[in-house]
Structure 1
Amino acid sequence: MTDALSHLPRAGDGAALKAGFTDLHPPLTQRQAIIESQRCLYCYDAPCIEACPSDIDIPRFIREISEDNINGAAQTILEQNILGGSCARVCPTEILCEQSCVRNHDAECQPVLIGLLQRHAIDHMHFDGHPFHRAADTGKHIAVVGAGPAGLSCGHRLAMHGHRVTILEAEAKPGGLNEYGIAKYKLVDDYAQREIAFLLKIGGIEIRHGQRLGDNLTLDALQRDYDAVFLGLGLAASRQLGLIGENAPGLMPATEYIKTLRQASDLGSLPLARRCVVIGAGNTAIDMAMQMVRLGADEVTLVYRRDAEAMSATGHEQAIAKANGVRIVTWAQPKQVLIGDDGRVSGMRFARTETRDGTLVATGETLDIPADAVFKAIGQAFADDGLSDDRASRIARDGGKIHIDDSFRTSLAGVYAGGDCVVPGQDLTVQAVQHGKLAAQAIHQDIMAQQEVA
């Protein structure tokens, strides 16, 4: 996956580097959790619930923590978000529930630490068995394409309703972005796999690997063999800069490097750019820049074509990057890949930008930044080859993504979709979980309605 960087030196001492990839935010102790939970006002009409994409009853689980009812708190969370543990670690709570917290004003300085309290509940739960149980078997069998957060959430909720579920996954491990695309210091060790193992304890769910829609799977066959199909395809294609030299050694998508880093057994074996440039403005760009710093890069520069306020990465994420030595350059867009005499990337030339009458334009000035490697983090796009067979190609699209109705139905009867591959949404893990949960409810209702008619 990192062939474009094979000429670079290795990162070095893997054991020493590992210390830099522990939890970004240390967990709360039991005493800290009790004290923090007691800051909550347990609002009746809680704005934090309104801000939570997965509808968790936040005041309820916080009150349960304050009463030392950890299993109760965990169940309250998992009822709405079966991947509540990973979401507590990666969800941008600072712009969602915590931003809406009534404690979040100048006099108090900070909101209730909802994300850390959610993590505390999930990390310390101890159920004798799975807290959710399957309903009586319906005799129906649903195909879920993609074992990312949307697909896993959908599969779990369908299993609760008594349906059999087969999840068809292209990669060697389930988890999607939780396994392959999140910064290693956010989901450490094998947390993603342990969370999935817990989810699967409900029973009735089978995961088949090496199954790729548009390759060895067709939608026509899936609709023939299953009672319904859910597509949780994610966004698998990296957007291109559209510049000459984009395929030169030393330039690659950030997502590919992060994927390799997350699967590496020895961090020291990874190629390391002493000077690197990350192009982008989202959380993936921040993740990439931060991880290069932690691997030992001397200079890490993140470049964005607009100002910091327009960056999709939260202010919290930007602040973390700056605190760790990442240089953030704004008002600059890629203009030219600089290639050295050896045919490898030697840096990037950027056109300085500004807005005129609301339109982004070049000022005529340029900025050259030397680099041993350049990482593209300019967004992911839907991979069209996933819907390449005759039936799949008939699914309506909107802006490149799959078009769905309010119940996550696509334009093809019996086919549903959710997560990053559909039009509405913020491309957040927590929102993908919500999509999967709501789509499962719609699938269940439609199937049972058809059964009643029959």
Structure 2
Amino acid sequence: MATKETGDVAAGRLTADQLACQFADVAPLLDPGAAAVAASRCHYCYDAPCVNACPTRIDIPGFIRKIGNGNLKGAAHDILSANPLGGMCARVCPTEILCEGACVRNHQDEKPVAIGALQRHATDWAMARGETLFRRAADSGCHVAVVGAGPAGLACAHRLALMGHRVTLFDAHPKAGGLNEYGIAAYKTVDDFAQREVDWLLSVGGIALKTGVMLGRDVSLDELRQQHDAVFLAIGLAGVKALQIEGEALGNVHNAVDFIARLRAADDLSTLPVGRRVVVIGGGNTAIDAAVQSSKLGAQSVTMVYRRGVDAMSATWAEREFAQTQGVSIVLYAQPLKLNRDGTCVTGVEFERTKEEAGRLVGTGERFTLEADMVLKAIGQTLVATGLDADILTTDGSRIEVDDERRTSLKGVWAGGDCAATGLDLTVQAVEDGKLAAASIDRVFARTAVRAA
């Protein structure tokens, strides 16, 4: 069954039918009956803690009440008016630590209202029917450049378009969507949902999409500022941190984000090579997604190794538990020292046990080796500052410095999403950044219009 093989890395470990089963929707859509039952569990709290826990502040009790009353269009409108990427967020948000984690039901029967599933129920219904939920305002005469068509850029562009401003949306990739298209596990976003959501967002009108355009390569920030009334930077974190250990350049040692992107772009999953023994280094969602998908592709053993303890992992408890149900082993308190080789290919990873002393991570001197024919690195992503003015970066150069309205120190330039120093690196937070920037840009245009009058 295996085809092209390098060492123990091979494509075609599973049949097409097996792969289809492995990569089926991990959380299938609720049917109407199940949705009604789930909605009936909501207490419709007046001072709802779930709303406060949502970065986009969706009126959760309001939309759930509408679902319970059979008003799915109204529910979808409530969700998407607060979060235009509500469909994707319903699939990928860590609801267990946000809205559902704050649900008062946790204190009663230890089972929160299924807010994420209900949100998907309403938004998928509206998108499948092609419901027209929003109408664009009259053209304002203002033109905004949005650089980066990920969650922050899409949210900003959609909100600006609704306000009547014209938007040109630039992205370096062949498709819009950012991490929603290229960086999220395939089993979370089946049936090309990321692109269907992009199509829905663009259908509001007033947004011109230009793909294959990279800041600093194809267009400069100065040019964008000269040609537009405002610029919103949502370029994400395109760089990947290196392990900086011996053997990192060996064959079959890959960045986890690149592995996930290749999988998402593949027309035939049986053509994707995967090792028999895969080691994933890291403790975040990218590490989880890479590890689980390696297992789903047919790897016989997948081990995820993190240098600290479980409380320091950015992957949530739900993600960790899911990974373990998918055959992923998790090793804590271990840091990589060296990648072993056989010729040009990796054969294993040598680790050192670690511990924390007075808040610092230190090595214990105890070493062990995990055999591996594929290693995936997922220790964090970094800002690629090409084309950016150094004056708008944080002191360490790791992010773009912004204020509460997502304004940078450059006049007419805003920034948001993972590239900006705003806190949580979550899809839902990126959406909120885009909304905040759009509102701020609109206020500037409104003041300008008043002065002109």
| TM interval, short-chain normalised | over 0.9
CA gap of 1:299–1:217, structure 2 versus 1, over 3 A, is same
Q: Measure how far apart 1:345 and its partner are.
A: 0.5
How many residues are treated as equivalent by the alignment? 447
* Alignment partner of 1:376 is 2:394: no
Alignment correspondent of 1:331: 333
Q: Please show how residues 28-427 of structure 1 align to structure 2 within 5 Å.
A: 28-105=30-107, 107-125=108-126, 129-340=131-342, 342-387=343-388, 392-399=389-396, 400-427=398-425
Which deviates more, 401-410 or 444-453? 444-453
Cα displacement string for residues 337-386 of structure 1 (whole angstroms, at most 9, x for unaligned residues): 1112x221111001110111221100010110000010001111101224
Task: Provide the rounded CA distance (Å) in 2 between the counterparts of 1:174 and 1:128.
Answer: 20
Q: In structure 2, give the amino acid aligned to 1:436.
A: G
Percent identity, please. Answer: 51
Q: Is the contact between residue 396 and residue 411 of structure 1 (CA under 8 Å) also seen in structure 2?
A: no
Task: Provide the rounded CA distance (Å) in 2 between the counterparts of 1:204 and 1:154.
Answer: 13
Q: Is the contact between residue 138 and residue 164 of structure 2 (CA under 8 Å) also seen in structure 1?
A: yes
CA gap of 1:25–1:206, structure 2 versus 1, over 3 A, is same
Cα displacement string for residues 180-226 of structure 1 (whole angstroms, at most 9, x for unaligned residues): 00000001121001111111111000100111001011001001100
TM-score by length of structure 2 reads 0.96
Cα displacement string for residues 141-177 of structure 1 (whole angstroms, at most 9, x for unaligned residues): 1000000010000000000110000001110000000
Cα displacement string for residues 299-333 of structure 1 (whole angstroms, at most 9, x for unaligned residues): 00000011112111000110011111111000100
Task: Provide the rounded CA distance (Å) in 2 between the counterparts of 1:96 and 1:12.
Answer: 36
Task: Provide the rounded CA distance (Å) in 1 between the counterparts of 2:264 and 2:326.
Answer: 20
CA gap of 1:87–1:222, structure 2 versus 1, over 3 A, is same
TM-score by length of structure 1 reads 0.96
RMSD: 1.7
Q: Please show how residues 428-439 of structure 1 align to structure 2 within 5 Å.
A: 428-439=426-437
Q: Measure how far apart 1:134 and its partner are.
A: 1.1
Runs of 4+ in structure 1 off by over 6 angstroms are 2-7
Q: Is the contact between residue 7 and residue 345 of structure 2 (CA under 8 Å) also seen in structure 1?
A: no
For residue 70 of structure 2, give the secondary structure of its aligned residue in structure 1.
coil
Q: Measure how far apart 1:438 and its partner are.
A: 1.1
Q: In structure 1, give the amino acid aligned to 2:378.
A: A
Q: Measure how far apart 1:452 and its partner are.
A: 1.9
Task: Provide the rounded CA distance (Å) in 2 between the counterparts of 1:35 and 1:214.
Answer: 52
For residue 103 of structure 1, give the secondary structure of its aligned residue in structure 2.
helix
Task: Provide the rounded CA distance (Å) in 1 between the counterparts of 2:337 and 2:144.
Answer: 48
For residue 397 of structure 1, give the secondary structure of its aligned residue in structure 2.
coil
For residue 385 of structure 1, give the secondary structure of its aligned residue in structure 2.
coil
Task: Provide the rounded CA distance (Å) in 2 between the counterparts of 1:209 and 1:316.
Answer: 35
For residue 425 of structure 2, give the secondary structure of its aligned residue in structure 1.
coil
For residue 402 of structure 1, give the secondary structure of its aligned residue in structure 2.
coil
Q: Is the contact between residue 103 and residue 110 of structure 1 (CA under 8 Å) also seen in structure 2?
A: yes
For residue 89 of structure 1, give the secondary structure of its aligned residue in structure 2.
helix
Task: Provide the rounded CA distance (Å) in 2 between the counterparts of 1:117 and 1:73.
Answer: 10
Q: Is the contact between residue 416 and residue 422 of structure 2 (CA under 8 Å) also seen in structure 1?
A: no
Q: Measure how far apart 1:398 and its partner are.
A: 4.2
Cα displacement string for residues 222-255 of structure 1 (whole angstroms, at most 9, x for unaligned residues): 0110000000000100111111221110111000
Q: Is the contact between residue 4 and residue 252 of structure 1 (CA under 8 Å) also seen in structure 2?
A: no
Task: Provide the rounded CA distance (Å) in 2 between the counterparts of 1:73 and 1:142.
Answer: 30
Q: Is the contact between residue 408 and residue 417 of structure 1 (CA under 8 Å) also seen in structure 2?
A: yes
CA gap of 1:191–1:310, structure 2 versus 1, over 3 A, is same
Q: In structure 2, give the amino acid aligned to 1:59.
A: P
- Identify unmatched segments of 5+ residues in structure 1: none
For residue 186 of structure 2, give the secondary structure of its aligned residue in structure 1.
coil
Q: Is the contact between residue 279 and residue 285 of structure 1 (CA under 8 Å) also seen in structure 2?
A: yes
Cα displacement string for residues 391-434 of structure 1 (whole angstroms, at most 9, x for unaligned residues): x3332324410000111100100000000001122110011011
- Identify unmatched segments of 5+ residues in structure 2: none
CA gap of 1:223–1:48, structure 2 versus 1, over 3 A, is same
Q: Measure how far apart 1:293 and its partner are.
A: 0.7
Cα displacement string for residues 18-47 of structure 1 (whole angstroms, at most 9, x for unaligned residues): 221111112211111101101100000000
Cα displacement string for residues 71-115 of structure 1 (whole angstroms, at most 9, x for unaligned residues): 00000000100110000000000000001100012x412010100
Which deviates more, 51-60 or 308-317? 308-317
For residue 275 of structure 2, give the secondary structure of its aligned residue in structure 1.
coil
